[in-house]
Amino acid sequence: MPTIQTDRQAALHSLISAFLAERLTSKLDKLGPDDPKRQELHQQFIPATWLEDAARRASQIQAVTHSLKPVHPDAKGTSLYCPPAELASVPVVGSHCLGADFAGDVVGNAAALDVYKFLKLEHSSRSLLALCLQNDADFAAALSDDAATAQAWMAAFASLTAPRGQLASHTLAKQLYWPVSDNPHSNDGFHVLSPLYASSLAHKVYGQLQDDRFSDEAKAAREARKNGLYSERPVREYRHMAVQQLGGTKPQNISQLNSERRGNNHLLASLPPVWQSVAVKPLLNTDSLFHRYSRRPLVRQHVKALLDFLKTDPNPNLATRHQRAGYVDSLLDEFFQFTAELRELEPGWSQHADCDLSTAQAHWLDPVGAAPPAPLDLVETISRDFAGWLNAQLHAALPVGDPEFVAWRKRMTDDINAFEREDSHAD
């Protein structure tokens, strides 16, 4: 490497050297002291050697802000790099809201992601990729003392933000045909749109949700609210949120940011208002949540449908099991809807003098406000209560007993555990 002429060039040179040294050390640590591959690795991580190879491999990946792969993993169309600050400002939430504070994503060959990790390194709050795009002279000097070589490498790195090939959609993309003429009967009167996944925006939303739900500051704010104390940090809650998994067991095949999120992508609720003729009220003067749950119209309907089906004495085959499971699933869906409504109430209602619910049911319906401690067997108890209730609904007309009780209890336990696994997966 050349003699560095300025402090800034020296700092950039040190940044490059430290990155390569760290990656070399991490690979050497996996080898024995006499492994012949150690010498090979030392050669690979000579700065000039590694940088030349990285510039060559840069064509295998593409820096993006809007990606096609999350739409469908097998789609082969175009992904785009559109810096948010360069987008038009419109009065809705979108990528343009990120401004200069955004995380770039990368798609392509996962084996070349180390090139992007290198270009994400920052000096004075500016990434090395940004320096390449600006043809920064100091960074060029830090890369190589040969001006032509440095320029070639910077051009290769800067090409990460350029679209690969001609702009194109794909049959697996979720295309929209937008009318551009007054004649809807003409095929020429439409323009095809290929919406792309706003990866940088999704990552920003993910980071905000993680902070609002699981950070120490957020937990302290919720604890303060529970105890009636003041907190400068507001408590933010996200109701009816779903988590979409992208990439399965290989989230890195979708994109780098998707891999960092372990494939988790949050979907905020976009639902019409639900009409409620009577406000949800706390469960007071009753010793079981199932007394009110049983009175819900859909619950009565699903219980009757299940009872009528079982009274026909259907054949014990796969079709019967599937149909019976469908009725039980409907009851479970209504149970979780009932639970969600009660959890919308002001925390602490379960500590009212007229609340006669069991400790487990109180903690299930009022998890933030119920009197501590929460029972360790909460899931088991709620599942057992549900199984006992459902057997009681069927017992008058059918000879149900322990086998059915075990089946209903397992079904409820599986549903509750699935919800808890999903919630902990986002942590």
Strands 126-127 and 176-179: unpaired
Name the amino acid, one letter, at 337: Q
Question: Within a 10 A sphere around the Cβ of 148, how many other Cβ atoms?
Answer: 8
- C-alpha distances (whole Å) from 4 to each of 42, 136, 247 are 23, 15, 44
CB 205 within 8 A of CB 95: no
What the block records as the tokens of 239 is 């109701």
Instruction: Tell me if 92 sits within 8 A of 76, measured CB to CB.
Output: no
Q: Over the chain (427 residues), what is each successive 10-residue block's mean pLDDT?
A: 69 92 90 86 91 92 88 87 88 88 84 87 88 92 90 92 82 89 86 89 91 92 90 89 88 87 88 70 94 94 90 86 89 92 93 95 94 93 94 84 90 84 53
Please report the pLDDT score of residue 426 as a whole number.
44
Number of H helices, E strands in the chain: 16, 10
3-class DSSP assignment, residue 300: helix
Query: Tell me, what's the pLDDT at 1?
Result: 44
- DSSP class of residue 361 equals H
- The enclosing H or E element of 62 equals strand 61-64
Backbone torsion region of residue 33, taken as left when φ is above 0, otherwise alpha when ψ lies between -120 and 50, otherwise beta: alpha
pLDDT for 276: 59
Domain coordinates in residue numbering, the chain: 7-161, 203-267, 290-425
